[in-house]
Structure 1
């Protein structure tokens, strides 16, 4: 039986009916509204070109959407420990890998909901140019790669952390370290700058978006920039599958058994 589906259904009910999901989504929509209004104002004043405006909103939607998904995954195991509900979950007739899979699906549901909320904002800014469809499809592909990879990383950190505060702090610091380089006015030039851009899954993903949406490159021209997000997905997935039975436990850390 696909018991991970049972876990996923329960986790999604807890996330959305419990109020955390709608609250995070409301905060996301408020932030995206403010960014879209500021972007539209700069567009009207000719401070931004329309392609740049669409690219900016797509990147913000991806960044914040991945952030809220990571926050849910960071709470996945360590939060259950602190609330005293992990023991009953471990006693349920489901494997620990199924528990991790179900929690991953619940966290990713928040990313897809956030992306759905961003669609009208991208449409408003992209009216008049044949860019909306491409921007949304690219944002969905790149954002989903980043969300899947970072949700996996978040669950690993959550399972290994001794407290929920530690798990959340580490995940937010990690996300800050990954997104900060994308906000720098200029990356270092030469091979060092290119290496830093390519090894960081977030900067490589956003660079790919900019190359297609702003620079007008063909979709296939810069596909190599999606290597880092793909590698993150694969590594996080393998680690969860291999270590899942050992790290999903009532205390943080890896079991010696």
Structure 2
């Protein structure tokens, strides 16, 4: 039964005109970026690890936002369209409904990764970085996409408005991005330091730099990814706990 729900969500959000449009945009951005790294003189001088990290950041950032847009509409949208009743009348428990919707987002992310693989293969050609790229795509990337999608799904569950759920979810994502726009000095104190220490996005970017640039070992990389793992577990657990709130508007 969960498979049928995943199939329904995939058809509505991924293989619909909107979803295919998002996939086209992702492909276009990757193509433009790859062409820029080859043809623009200043960009062509960058070393391959920097190029790969830049591509990964772009791909991950865009797809976290797209996944959060999908997640924001998955429960609140059902309420607004009046289709939640038929979903609740199925044999699926509310927790399984949330799991099914998160699985559909995972399907979207895997489709995106398949599209991105040829680009990363070309960008890393001649090096031994491709296996590491696969690790960051399918382990770290998947963890972040599911975690942030869980946040958007939580807001979609407890709020009656897809717009409000989307705004609040994306706001949290943007807060975790703050350290990326601050100088090294600013990250060493105050609120910026706290976000930098605990942000899963900062941890993933730092781990990528450690493995590609600083050449640290796997044990150091895994320790650096602890914030990502903790963030994933907390958000998914909270989403499953909030699943009991999947109900009609105003509890009707």
**Do they fold alike, i.e. is TM over 0.5?**
yes
**1:1-257 equivalent positions in 2, closer than 5 A:** 3-41=1-39, 47-186=45-184, 188-190=186-188, 195-245=194-244, 247-251=245-249
Deviates more, 1:181-190 or 1:194-203: 181-190
In structure 1, distance between residues paired with 2:104 and 2:185: 35
In structure 1, distance between residues paired with 2:80 and 2:115: 32
In structure 2, distance between residues paired with 1:41 and 1:17: 33
Q: CA deviation at 1:146?
A: 0.4
Q: CA deviation at 1:187?
A: 5.8
In structure 1, distance between residues paired with 2:116 and 2:10: 21
Q: Equivalent residue of 1:222, what SS?
A: helix
Question: Root-mean-square deviation (CA), in Å?
Answer: 2.2
Q: 2:37–2:44: 8 Å Cα contact kept in structure 1?
A: no
Q: How many residues align?
A: 250
Q: CA deviation at 1:202?
A: 0.9
Q: Does the C-alpha gap of structure 1 residues 53 and 185 become closer, same or farther in structure 2, counting only changes over 3 Å?
A: farther
Q: CA deviation at 1:46?
A: 5.2
Q: CA deviation at 1:235?
A: 1.2
Q: Equivalent residue of 2:46, what SS?
A: coil
Q: 2:155–2:165: 8 Å Cα contact kept in structure 1?
A: yes
Q: Does the C-alpha gap of structure 1 residues 230 and 197 become closer, same or farther in structure 2, counting only changes over 3 Å?
A: same
TM-score for both structures, normalised by structure 2: 0.89
TM-score for both structures, normalised by structure 1: 0.87
Q: 1:122–1:136: 8 Å Cα contact kept in structure 2?
A: no
Q: CA deviation at 1:161?
A: 1.7
Alignment deviations for residues 167-217 of structure 1 (CA, whole Å, 9 cap, x no partner): 112222222222343244546354656643231111111111111122222
Q: Equivalent residue of 2:233, what SS?
A: helix
Q: CA deviation at 1:53?
A: 0.7
In structure 1, distance between residues paired with 2:23 and 2:183: 29
In structure 2, distance between residues paired with 1:189 and 1:203: 11
